[in-house]
Structure 1
Amino acid sequence: MTKATRNGVTFPLPVLQGILPFDRSKLPTEILAGLTFACLAIPEVMGYTKIAGTPVITGLYTILIPMALFAIFGSSRHLVVGADSATAAITASALAGMAVSGSSEYLALASLLALMAAILLIAARIIGLGFLADFLSRTVLVGFLTGVGIQVASGEVPGMLGIEVSAHGTIAKLQGVAEHFEQFSWPTLAVAVAVLTVVTGCRRLSRKFPGPLIAILGVILCSWAFQFSGAGIAVLGAVPSGLPSLSIPAVDWSWSLFKQLLPTALSIFVVILAQSAATSRAYAARYEEKFDENSDLVGLGLANLGAAFTGTFVVNGSPTKTEMVASAGGRSQIAQLTTVAIVLVVILFLTGPLAYLPNAALSAIVFLIGVKLIDVRGLANIYTQARPEFWIAIATAAVVVFVGVEQGIIFAMVLSLIDHTRRGYHPKNSVIVENKVTGWHSKSIDHPNQFEPGLVIYRFSHSLYYANTQRLSDEVATITQGADHKLSWFCIEASAIDDVDFTAGYTLRNAHQYLQSKGIKLVFLLVESDVRAELDRYGVTDLVGKDAYFESGSELLAAFHHRIGREHGTQSASGKP
């Protein structure tokens, strides 16, 4: 039976790790945090349905069962799981040409994507693929979310102006606005501006003010009192109430459909992994707590199963929602369960007034969500601190805006891998030399390059693998050819090498032969046990000998001095100079 442990308390099953142990004295604070979060999240998740292209009620459904399942089965005490702009945008991008937005067929496909994401997440837990969360660098994640923000914000411009645009894609929607500008409605724009003003005004006064909720309640009241629909302002209309029905997505269960949706499901899977893991780590570090990534994978998988079987779309760990709860005082999943209870009441008894909600108000809320995702400060920091990575972030954002969200996440992954390979391909290797004042230190590979006459200590600063083995060969040749004294020993300082692949083993054998032809002995310093096992397996140890490995600099120097002294002694005895 699987067990989970937190703060010395062992649980027979990996459940309630985000809740237990619980301090009863903090219950009022947790409930208040949950209430505050509900006020902020309800209008926001309704806005996400516009991004995803699903009915408004499905936004509330993303909070109901999925959030409760993660609270029970997840590990993080802080991560909030629910509707998310990035995964909603990926869903809409993939389903745009497959069904009519908002239709039952479209919703079934969105639920199928949630089911596929859930299977991938649970499979990742079983076969240990959680490391894929690290394949999106912070740089490309900033660029990706910025691109999503631009796409989301620009996509709501037609709705705020009262213009009907059926085109998909950022550029196509803006072109549609220009082509159908005669549909522009001043009353619709006035509603949008009023909502924007209230939300931003409340945010300036205090981030604890539920600005979106105040704006939504106010505009619903005005719509009911002044009959906005009669003035040409489009409203949502009747919103169904009641609990979601549990059902399997009603789709054509064919292999061709799965193949068509699999790239999208994989993109969603990677975004969930990267965003959720990063958020959980950040808050666990902030509050000096532990969390189990494997339990979180199961919790996220079950949350998406809950979304799939309750007729809604993909859910994800949200950094913005997590910060909302944390800033309100929430320190466990009790706050999220409180939000679930409040949403349950809304779904059962309070959906009627939503019929009066103007579409422009919802567009304004979504517009602000998009603007919040545009991380200008993050881009500025990258530009200042790592100029090449800034252009990677900009390229990622551009692909999202001009090509698509799904293509953007794939592009982001490829760029991250290329960037990682580039760093490994050009490691900043050096030689170690002695300074009479500060001791040993590294310097670039140039003259003078010997630690002392006859000995070079060459530091390779990365794992040795096929992409950088030629660099090792070239630098060994450069150092030996440019040596300021005849070399006797060539030492590879291997403290930074944590892996050696087959190609690297072949290269090291060739390096040994090259050095041996010049009368130079190859030795190693500070080799990890796992790396030593790899060198043994590749036959390197058989060539250099077991006595060619040293665990400290003093041991290396003692052996070198002994060897040189012995050679000099032999030369003197034979009468040679």
Structure 2
Amino acid sequence: MRSKITSGRGIGRYFPVLDWGRTYSRSALSNDLFAAVIVTIMLIPQSLAYAMLAGLPPEAGLYTSIAPIMLYAVFGTSRSLAVGPVAVVSLLTASVIGQVAEQGTAGYAAAALTLAMLSGGFLVLMGVLRLGLLANFLSHPVIAGFITASGILIATSQLKHILGIEAHGHTLPEMLGSILSHLSQTNWVTVAIGTSATLFLFWVRSFLRPTLTKLRTPPLLADILTKAGPVFAVVATTVSVWAFDLADQGVLIVGAVPQSLPPFTVPSLSFDLIEALLLPAILISIIGFVESVSVAQTLAAKRRQRIDPDQELIGLGAANLGAAFTGGFPVTGGFARSVVNFDAGAETPAAGAFTAIGLAVAALALTPLVYFLPTATLAATIIVAVLGLVDLSILKKTWSYSCADFVAVAATILLTLLLGVEVGVASGVVLSVLLHLYKTSQPHVAEVGLVPGTQHFRNIKRHAVLTDPRVVNLRVDESLYFVNARFLEDYIQSRVPDGCTVRHVILMCSAVNEVDYSALESLESINLRLADMDVGLHLSEVKGPVMDRLRRSRFLEGLNGQVFLSQFDAWDHLARSPQPNAAA
């Protein structure tokens, strides 16, 4: 009986649906259905737009929003996360695939499937191995900088659709140069449609709800009408193009969209293609996971819920694998639609499943209605959505808080804008790691003294404390490893020079969680040098795991001092001066 229970818990770890599904209620069903209706209305135009951004046919956006959502509902742990195509991942998809296949070809679509498969497989592998912590290698400021730059690139890339011209490029200078060189081809009817749709969508986002509130519209209806803003733009511009034959005047339209459910597709297993897409797939996976898990954790915290980052990897991986085998492209959790899903009252992942059903109905019954939908309207939808991602205030915030973070953010933004999103993603990862290494390469080492009348020790530069000229108390506020090992060695050498009156050096290790072999060798060098000077090296407040590792070496045998349980014990034992000095 016990083994069965254990087995059941093991299965439940990989199938969260077995957890929330047991307690699913009629009230949850009602709330999930309502949330699904709102998200479906929002997602139909978004799906078409993001497919266009990824360089794929519009139906690919609908296909990408059906099977992945269903699979996430089974494997995901967030009750509110809405999975599907998102702007940044769509841009990355277009940028990556554009280097291995020509847009509009069968090879391009096949590459999109392979990219989704590789991304999904990598995410599942990370989840099974419980490697969700790897996402921590991307710092939040760097991610914010990359998303800001990506939002600018995405908005700029859509200007060609607003203007009705041909343009190309993957970097900001290329895009702007191409747009300027083709300005003479501007289609002013398209400009009128695209500009009107963009202004309308901005007005909906900022002013529609306050206007409806002033008109005493019921809150529920006001919420639905606000979320349906893109649908109104789609309907109005589509009807205008159809009624006035604007397609004959050069307005580009979506055209025929197949009426069908997602087909079964098989990604290409070409070795050369996999080799070309593997690294980009890994980077896309990490970026998508970081964005998704950040949204999921934020929304879960508001309802005192928890998510499992490792299982989220499996859920997102399954969603991407679903996209790979149903004619889609890489997906992740979207910020805007997840917030809408949360605000609409979604209680379980079943809301996502109901959304997928609504999109399937749309794929079967509504696609003929978008034949005359102008691409300028889809571009307007993308522009309004992604400009919400642009947060240039991160530069000011990091400048005032941390110079190192500011340099990392600014470099990420500039590299992404000037060299493209692939370089931006790679530089974001590298800068995050370098930023961590830089910060830990010079650990904060404080010389401390005893607070009078207590057993507490504080920084002598910040507090009036008791010191002894013969005893140097150093608190090391960082784990010791190869990057900073030499720093501590140099610090002690400068603080305890030859011929000084110091007789004891106490390393207060309360903040040291790790001592690697390089740091161990530095400690041995410090010990030998101090021993030659007849100065004792002592340790205090060493944590258990660190002490266990030190005991496995010969360091403690050769230590010319002692190891004390607390810093006060070390001070009490070593500071024998009858008149300790007060320092400020």
User: What's the TM-score, normalizing by structure 1?
Assistant: 0.90
Name the amino acid aligned to 1:266: I
* Cα distance in 2 between the residues matched to 1:383 and 1:327: 34
Aligned equivalent of 1:540 = 555
Name the amino acid aligned to 1:499: E
* Cα distance in 2 between the residues matched to 1:349 and 1:49: 19
* Cα distance in 1 between the residues matched to 2:14 and 2:402: 45
**Alignment match of 2:66 (pick from 64, 67, 77):** 64
Displacement after TM superposition at 1:4 (Å): 4.8
Aligned equivalent of 1:571 = none
* Cα distance in 2 between the residues matched to 1:137 and 1:3: 37
Structure 2: tracts of 5 or more residues without a match: 1-5, 210-221, 578-584
2:188 is the alignment partner of 1:177: no
Q: Secondary structure at the match of 1:481?
A: coil
Aligned equivalent of 2:284 = 268
* Cα distance in 2 between the residues matched to 1:231 and 1:118: 43
2:494 is the alignment partner of 1:478: yes
* Cα distance in 2 between the residues matched to 1:54 and 1:444: 64
- Count of aligned residue pairs for this structure pair: 555
* Cα distance in 2 between the residues matched to 1:489 and 1:446: 22
Displacement after TM superposition at 1:300 (Å): 1.0
* Cα distance in 1 between the residues matched to 2:462 and 2:35: 61
Aligned equivalent of 1:525 = 540
* Cα distance in 1 between the residues matched to 2:194 and 2:26: 43
* Cα distance in 1 between the residues matched to 2:254 and 2:82: 27
* Cα distance in 2 between the residues matched to 1:501 and 1:27: 53
Aligned equivalent of 2:436 = 420
Aligned equivalent of 1:158 = 160
Aligned equivalent of 2:565 = 551
Displacement after TM superposition at 1:416 (Å): 0.5
Change (3 A) 1:148 1:447: closer
Aligned equivalent of 1:569 = none
2:518 is the alignment partner of 1:500: no
* Cα distance in 1 between the residues matched to 2:564 and 2:82: 50
Q: Is the 8 A contact 1:19 1:333 kept in 2?
A: no
Aligned equivalent of 1:14 = 15
Question: Which segment is superposed worse, 164-173 or 18-27?
Answer: 18-27
Structure 1: tracts of 5 or more residues without a match: 566-577
1:88-487 alignment, distance < 5 Å: 88-204=90-206, 205-206=208-209, 208=223, 209=226, 210-249=228-267, 251=268, 253-436=269-452, 440-443=456-459, 451-481=467-497, 486-487=501-502
* Cα distance in 2 between the residues matched to 1:96 and 1:409: 16
Change (3 A) 1:290 1:256: same
Change (3 A) 1:168 1:392: closer
Change (3 A) 1:277 1:523: same
Displacement after TM superposition at 1:242 (Å): 0.7
* Cα distance in 1 between the residues matched to 2:394 and 2:498: 45
Q: Is the 8 A contact 1:18 1:76 kept in 2?
A: no
Change (3 A) 1:180 1:31: same
* Cα distance in 2 between the residues matched to 1:446 and 1:278: 37
RMSD, matched Cα? 2.5
Question: Which segment is superposed worse, 27-36 or 497-506?
Answer: 27-36
Deviations 1:270-296 (A, max 9, x none): 112322222222222222112212211
Change (3 A) 1:134 1:12: closer
Displacement after TM superposition at 1:88 (Å): 1.3
Q: Is the 8 A contact 1:153 1:369 kept in 2?
A: no
* Cα distance in 2 between the residues matched to 1:526 and 1:115: 50
* Cα distance in 2 between the residues matched to 1:57 and 1:285: 35
Q: Is the 8 A contact 1:200 1:211 kept in 2?
A: no
Change (3 A) 1:243 1:439: same
Q: Secondary structure at the match of 1:499?
A: coil
1:18-97 alignment, distance < 5 Å: 21-97=23-99
* Cα distance in 1 between the residues matched to 2:22 and 2:194: 43
Displacement after TM superposition at 1:72 (Å): 0.9
Q: Secondary structure at the match of 2:427?
A: helix
Q: Is the 8 A contact 2:54 2:94 kept in 1?
A: yes
Deviations 1:34-82 (A, max 9, x none): 1111111221121111221011011111210001101111112122211
* Cα distance in 2 between the residues matched to 1:258 and 1:342: 34
Displacement after TM superposition at 1:388 (Å): 3.6
**Alignment match of 1:509 (pick from 524, 529, 539):** 524
Change (3 A) 1:23 1:377: farther
Q: Secondary structure at the match of 2:65?
A: helix
Residue identity (%): 28
Q: Is the 8 A contact 1:3 1:14 kept in 2?
A: no
* Cα distance in 2 between the residues matched to 1:241 and 1:122: 32
* Cα distance in 1 between the residues matched to 2:370 and 2:54: 19
